[in-house]
Structure 1
Amino acid sequence: MFVGHNPFLVALSVVIAILGGYTGFGLAARVRDTGSAGRRLLLAGAAFFLAVGVWTMHFVGMLAAPIPLDATYLILPTIISFLICALVMGVSLFFVSLDEPSNLRIVASALLLGLGIVSMHYVGIHGLAGAFHLEHQHTMMLAAAVIAVGTAYGGLRIFLARHDGMRLALSAAAFGIAVSGMHYTAMYEMRFLPGPPLRTANGLAASPEVLAVIVSLLCFIIIFGFLLFLVPEPQSRALMSASAHETDTDAFDTTQMSRSDRNGFGSARAQTPLPTGMAPVTRLPVEGADGTHFVEVGRIRSIRANSHYTLIHDGSRERMCPWAISHAEAHLDPATFMRVHRSHIVSIRYVSLIRKEGDSAVVELDGEVPHLVPVSRVRIAELRARLGLIRRSV
């Protein structure tokens, strides 16, 4: 069976799977840096592009196969196969996006996703109708299921690792090749045998030509999403917008600063000391799927307010902390940490870059995944002084 496949369509199916994986996992990797409303949209977008990529790859592979000329595709099983794919993609990504997933939850999600992909394949295959019947080799069916589950586990690990750039491209390539490998392993074990059909096209059915038109449209959607995802995010504008929406607290700070502070040449505003007798904390709590963990303050790059809790960035990703930002500021060592924005605290030791953005500024904090943090206008002079860029007045 496999030797009769159209090599150009086989190559196209692999490319479609790679592009769908790149776009889907790229969107999913941004979920943890987004608020609740944006998180739902990103999860939905990630699940959609992954499902469309896998489903479209499957049917491009079907068009590449030497299927009998009288074969038609039943509409209902074909739609159900896509719904299965979209459902398991969305549920699996949702499960691993909640807090810090345990290994058990990742394995369970991978099992659900892998079996869902296999189910999508065989539901789609058995949507074929014609004067033939299908025969399967159970050993190869099991091999296809193992490949699908392994692919799903690797894909979810990609999501959790938050790869970007070249690493995301390599991971998407591995994902697309693995998904395609599952499909063609399953196709290799399948035989079309002449004889009375197991099903007839009593319901709505589509010819291979109609399916080709639908698949072509989906290919354009995947390519469009991929190209749109490649457009760089306007980080500077987003950070400037965040700084521009300062509360009245920062306005009050401005009135309390001396004229020389506002001009950026005087002494920086004094750090608020810890309450008498209180030592700075050495660890901050973060929530995980299996309970509350603790992060050493020496690893913390920044703390970002998010509603009534905060998100702690440890240099590789953000994790949820149950403390409010004011509570965290009150218990951290002011010699190491500084509130640079009403919604952001940074660790001075990890600042690797500072630059002006309009009337405000941004700093970059180094780590495995460097990230930018906005600095409000009234905190620039103090931060520059603490970085040694402005001489403090005696």
Structure 2
Amino acid sequence: MFVEHNPFLVALSVVIAILGGYTGLGLAARVRGTGSAGRRLLLAGAAFFLAVGVWTMHFVAMLAAPLPLDTTYLVLPTIVSFLICALVMGVSLFFVSLGEPSNSRVVASALLLGVGIVSMHYVGIHGLAGSFHVEHQHAMMIAAAVIAVGTAYGGLRIFLARHGGMRLALSASAFGIAVSGMHYTAMYGMRFLPGPPLDHAAHGLAASPEVLALIVSLLCFLIIFGFLLFLVPEPRSRALISAPAHEADTVAFETAQMWRSDQNGFGSADAQSQQHLPTRRLGQPFISPATRLPVEGADGTNFVEVGRIRSIKANAHYTLIHDGSRERMCPWAISQAEAQLDPATFLRVHRSHIVSIPHVSLIRKEGDSAVVELDGEAPHLVPVSRARIAELKARLGLIRRGA
């Protein structure tokens, strides 16, 4: 039966699973950087797109399979299969999106995710109706479950390691392979055996393959639309967007002068007040460290106290500041933010990361480099480049300088 599948629909089903995974996992990656209200919305959106991706992949693959000519789809089991999928996706993402999850939590999430995908598949298969009955090979059912759980675990691990574009693409690919690999393994062990015609009326409302194909086509369009919409970059600070790249440092410097004058009690911008402020050329650090950094919010530019900052991460021409509970966008580049911080408290541990030494709660080796965990309401991990490990350990009092 397996060799008789339509190869074009098989390829489409895998692509749909990957696109749905990319969109859903991408939305889940933004959960930690938002407030509680936005977090719920992103979590719901991530679960929805993942569930739609899995469910649509399943039924595209069913349309690719050589099913008996009189096959119809019972509506109730078909809907229940989607609800199962959405529920397990939401619960799994909730487990891994809050704080830095332990290995046991990741294993539990992968187990729930894999079992949920397998359950969705077999509930959907139970919705097939016609003059036949379905027989499953138990060995293939077990193999399908192992593939789903194992690949889901690998995808979650890649996803949690870093939320960047390539890592996210790899995680989505692992997710798509988990879903499609499970489905086609299960289909390989499935046989349609002739039997007495089933009374469809006794089993509830049924839909023809043509109706299912129409629904699946609309859902494919929804997944592709969500994927393309997710690729649209987020809005940045207006000042930095309008300024050319070589002027970005000037814009950030002028912004810093404005809010730092407020900090030092110079409410007006008259020349007499401004002459008391430290001056510098572009590329040179400020004379004294800042006490607050600007962050962009829905209501405008806010300020976060330096003592609350756990880490700063470079993101194109701006940065993401983590205050222990969430990430917020700062309009400065990482080099500009570094110039405002006290070097006795903050250390550039990676070309894209700065950490607050007093908030480091854990350091461990990972291959040739290392990672540190920063404390707070939502602890998070930051990579440390190999060249900065010794300096960081010295700053933490683990080794003597120069050792």
What's the CA shift string for 1:75-102, capped at 9, x where partnerless? 1110110000010000000011122211
In the alignment, the residues of structure 1 paired with residue 199 and residue 159 of structure 2 have an alpha-carbon distance, to the nearest angstrom, of 40
Give 1:59 shift.
0.4
What's the CA shift string for 1:208-250, capped at 9, x where partnerless?
Answer: 000000000000000001111111222334989xx99x99996
Distance 1:262 1:156, change over 3 A: same
Do the aligned partners of residues 44 and 66 (structure 1) sit closer, same or farther apart at CA in structure 2, a change above 3 Å counting?
A: same
Give the distance between the partners of 1:14 and 1:351, measured in 2 at CA.
36
Structure 2 residue runs of 5 or longer lacking an equivalent are: 242-251, 292-302, 315-319, 326-337, 353-381, 386-403
Contact 2:159–2:167 (CA under 8 A) maintained in structure 1: no
CA separation in 1, counterparts of 2:43 and 2:261? 35
Q: Structure 1 CA distance, aligned partners of 2:11 and 2:348? A: 49
Match of 2:264, SS state, is: helix
In structure 2, distance between residues paired with 1:212 and 1:239: 47
| TM-score calculated relative to the size of structure 2 | 0.66
Give the partner amino acid of 1:255: F
Letter in 2 for 1:251: D
Letter in 1 for 2:146: V
Cα RMSD of the aligned pairs, angstroms, is: 3.8
**Partners in 1 of 2:313 and 2:30 — Cα distance?**
15
User: What does residue 115 of structure 2 align with?
Assistant: 115
CA spacing shift, 1:349–1:15, aligned 2, 3 Å:
closer
Pairing 1:24–2:39 present: no
C-alpha contact 2:32 2:98 (8 A) present in aligned 1: no
Name the residue aligned to 1:385: none
Equivalent in the alignment of 2:346: 347
Output aligned runs, 1:265-284, within 5 Å: 270=288
Alignment match, 1:124: 124
**Quick check: 2:278–2:286 contact (8 Å CA) kept in 1?**
no
Measured after TM superposition, the shift of residue 191 of structure 1 is 0.6
Instruction: Indicate how the Cα distance of structure 1 residues 29 and 199 shifts in structure 2: closer, same or farther if over 3 A, else same.
Output: farther
Are positions 1:259 and 2:270 aligned together?
no
Corresponding residue of 2:184: 184
The percent of aligned pairs where both chains have the same amino acid is: 71
CA separation of 1:83 and 1:318: change in aligned 2, threshold 3 A:
farther
Q: Which has the higher contact order (CA 8 A, sep 6+)?
A: 1
Contact 1:29 1:162 in 2 (8 A): no
Could you tell me which amino acid in structure 1 is paired with residue 59 of structure 2? F
Which residue of structure 2 lines up, in the alignment, with residue 387 of structure 1? none
Q: Does the 8 Å contact 1:30/1:162 carry over to 2?
A: no
The answer for the alignment partner of 2:12 in structure 1 is: 12
Equivalence for 2:236? 235
Q: CA deviation at 1:272?
A: 8.9
* Partner AA of 2:209 in structure 1: P
Shift of 1:61: 0.3
State the Cα distance separating 1:199 from its structure 2 match: 6.7
Change (3 A) 1:116 1:272: closer
Distance in structure 2 (CA, Å) of the matches to 1:20 and 1:145: 20
Q: How does 1:170-181 map to 2 (within 5 A)?
A: 170-181=170-181
Cα deviations by residue, 1:242-263 (Å, 9 ceiling, x for unpaired)? x99x999963535179422458
State the AA in 2 paired with 1:260. Q
Q: Is the 8 A contact 2:159 2:168 kept in 1?
A: no
Task: Give distance in 1, aligned partners of 2:67 and 2:348.
Answer: 64
Match of 1:101 in 2: 101
SS at 2:237 equivalent? helix
Aligned position for 2:296: none
Residue type at the aligned position of 1:101: P
Aligned to 1:89: 89
Distance 2:106 2:6 in 1: 36
Q: Deviations over 1:325-351 (max 9, x none)?
A: xxxxxxxxxxx99569xxxx9937569
- Cα separation, 2, equivalents of 1:268 and 1:64: 64
Deviations 1:287-335 (A, max 9, x none): xxxxxxxxxxxxxxxxx959xx95622769987748xxxxxxxxxxxxx
Q: How far 1:155 moved relative to its partner?
A: 2.4
Report the 3-state secondary structure (helix = DSSP H, G, I; strand = E; otherwise coil) of the residue aligned with 1:255. Answer: coil
Would the aligned equivalents of 1:99 and 1:319 in 2 still touch at CA under 8 Å?
no
- TM-score if structure 1 supplies the norm length? 0.67
Q: The residue matched to 1:235 in structure 2 has which SS?
A: coil
